[in-house]
Amino acid sequence: MGEEIEVIHSWSAPRSLSTSLMYSFAQRNDIEVLDEPLYANFLRVTGVDRPYKEELRSEMENDGNKVVKEVIFGAGVKKYRYCKHIAKQRVPGLTNELMKRGKHFIMIRNPLDILPSFEKVVPPSFLELGLAELVSVYSELSESGRPPPVIDAADLRKNPEATLRGLCEDLDIPFQDSMLRWEAGPKPFDGIWAPWWYKSVHKSTGFSPAKKYPMGNERSRSNCSEVVTR
């Protein structure tokens, strides 16, 4: 028999390590995860196109308010339910219960790190990145007296344990070491859009340091230095 569950809402822009963080939380023994439960409603309301649009809308609930009531806040078997949300999917018409209930946090990432990955599937735009909606989520929660914790994807890659411990403390849940690693490959809770978006994360087994690319001007300075010192 299912019991009322405590919901943790993760809000981010796309391509912000949100799937990796979902995989991290899924390793806990007290949590179940939902991958973008409001996605079909977002497509219905906005009419934006996706290569998997018809399949997604036929397999997921398209009524956002039903999703909030039955999927997000419905009974569960674990203590917590983790919902990975992309901020732009909080479209007009959704019940206020979505923001009033549960624990919320925000993950940010430098937009310059988002664009190269995002444009491989969808042409980037201000609407598609949803940065304004992310600010709106933060503002609304803050104005209600519940300012959400904010973590940076760069910190998560640089020091995952410290960042996750801090996030768990802010959410008032215990940290578990299991959050630091997962098995490579697809997951049963992946959304049907995974083949288009999750190729890199399926190769991962944890949070890895960001790649560093040499800047052309730094290389030029290095070459000049070699000439001067020879």
Spell out the per-residue pLDDT of the chain, length 230, in tens: 456 799 999 999 888 899 999 999 999 999 999 999 999 999 999 998 898 999 999 999 999 999 999 999 999 999 999 999 999 999 999 999 999 999 999 999 877 766 666 556 666 666 767 788 999 999 999 999 999 999 999 999 999 999 999 999 999 999 999 999 999 999 999 999 999 889 989 999 999 887 665 554 444 334 433 333 33
| pTM, entire model | 0.86
216 assigned to some structural domain: yes
User: Is there a contact between 30 and 8 (Cβ–Cβ < 8 Å)?
Assistant: no
In a domain, 182, yes or no: yes
Q: Which domain holds residue 100?
A: 6-229
* Structural domain includes residue 12: yes
Angle at 196 between CA 191 and CA 200, to 5 degrees: 95
Instruction: Report the CATH number that the domain containing residue 50 is assigned in CATH.
Output: 3.40.50
Please check whether residue 183 lies inside any domain of the structure: yes
Counted domains in the chain: 1
The answer to the question of residue 1 being in a domain is no
